[in-house]
């Protein structure tokens, strides 16, 4: 009797150095170490305020990065609605703040409005069979006029208005002065922004990670990989595409209020 010979794929053994180079820790160090080196080369502690401010601004835009990842990588849906959803969140925040609403209420409202216009983009793309880029450009262009109409003018001054940081600012400055001296108080605003915004970003990330492990979340992820498979399972991929784009732009809208809140952070 003849023997059947099955071929097995040849796997190259991975060394410790290879695993180290492919680890997330190495990638993180590659990003952080040049920043630390540049910090000391530019001026050390004298430029610390600049770096803290840049870090605070970057954290405020972190959810925008997550949103772009959802549409481009998870859903394979190139989307430019974020160009209008971000200022939409900022416009809503500015209007609500000057009208006496709680600054914390601006966050869910901006989240909701961003999701609504993200869903509109996905509906235009799926129902009317318009390419995603063109559909998102249409919505983003319309949002320029909508944002101006909402504000009623090109700029809304927010000086001396309450923000999400206002209740924590006095106590945090006192803590910084007690622990690190009066000279460190000038960094208190940026440090408070970093701490509070990091908490918001972390909560959003944990909720999104939990959602992607649910049945609906996994189906949404599968929609970007293989729409035919999702349809073969008896699910409508367009619904999950609309859901994913809505979540993406909701996160962008949530990032919008961070900018006016930072700009009016009390001294």
Residue 16 falls within a domain, yes or no?
no
Question: What is the percent of the chain where pLDDT is above 90?
Answer: 21
What local confidence, expressed as pLDDT, does residue 135 receive? 92
Residue 12 falls within a domain, yes or no?
no
Total of domains in the chain:
1
Each residue's pLDDT tens digit, 200-240: 989 998 999 899 899 998 999 888 888 888 888 888 889 99
Read off the pTM: 0.80
Residue 15 falls within a domain, yes or no?
no
Mapped to the 3 state alphabet, what secondary structure does 45-61 carry? HHHHHHHHHHHHHHHHC
Each residue's pLDDT tens digit, 4-60: 555 555 555 556 666 666 666 776 777 677 766 666 665 555 567 777 877 888 888
Sign, Cα dihedral of 31, 34, 40, 46? negative
Q: Which domain, by its residues, includes 204?
A: 61-263
Phi, psi of 11 (to 5 degrees): -105, 130
Sign, Cα dihedral of 120, 126, 129, 130? positive
Report residue 266's pLDDT band, with 50, 70 and 90 as the boundaries.
very low
> How far is the C-alpha of 149 from the C-alpha of 146, rounded, in Å?
5
More confident residue, 164 or 13: 164
Residue 34 falls within a domain, yes or no?
no
Residue 124 falls within a domain, yes or no?
yes
Residue 107 falls within a domain, yes or no?
yes
DSSP H or E stretch at residue 172: helix 169-180
């Amino acid at each position: 009797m003849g023997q059947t010979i099955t071929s097995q794929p040849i796997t190259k053994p991975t060394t410790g150095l290879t695993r180290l180079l492919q680890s997330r820790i190495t990638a993180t160090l590659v990003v952080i170490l040049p920043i630390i080196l540049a910090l000391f080369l530019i001026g050390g502690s004298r430029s610390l305020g600049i770096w803290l401010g840049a870090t605070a601004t970057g954290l405020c835009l972190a959810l925008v990065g997550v949103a772009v990842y959802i549409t481009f990588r998870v859903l394979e849906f190139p989307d430019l609605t974020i160009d209008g959803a971000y200022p939409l969140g900022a416009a809503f925040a500015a209007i609500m703040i000057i009208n006496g609403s709680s600054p914390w209420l601006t966050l869910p409202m901006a989240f909701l409005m961003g999701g609504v216009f993200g869903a509109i983009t996905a509906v235009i793309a799926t129902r009317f069979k318009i390419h995603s880029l063109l559909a998102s450009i249409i919505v983003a262009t319309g949002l320029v006029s909508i944002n101006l109409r909402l504000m009623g003018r090109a700029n809304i001054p927010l000086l001396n208005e309450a923000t999400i940081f206002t209740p924590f600012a006095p106590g945090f400055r006192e803590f910084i002065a007690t622990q690190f001296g009066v000279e460190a108080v000038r960094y208190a605003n940026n440090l408070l922004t970093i701490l509070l915004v990091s908490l918001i970003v972390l909560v959003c990330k944990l909720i999104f990670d939990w959602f992607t492990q649910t049945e609906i979340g996994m189906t949404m992820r599968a929609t970007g990989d293989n729409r035919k498979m999702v349809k073969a399972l008896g699910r409508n991929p367009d619904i999950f595409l609309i859901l994913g784009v809505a979540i993406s732009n909701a996160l962008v809208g949530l990032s919008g209020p961070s900018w006016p809140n930072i700009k009016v952070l009390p001294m």
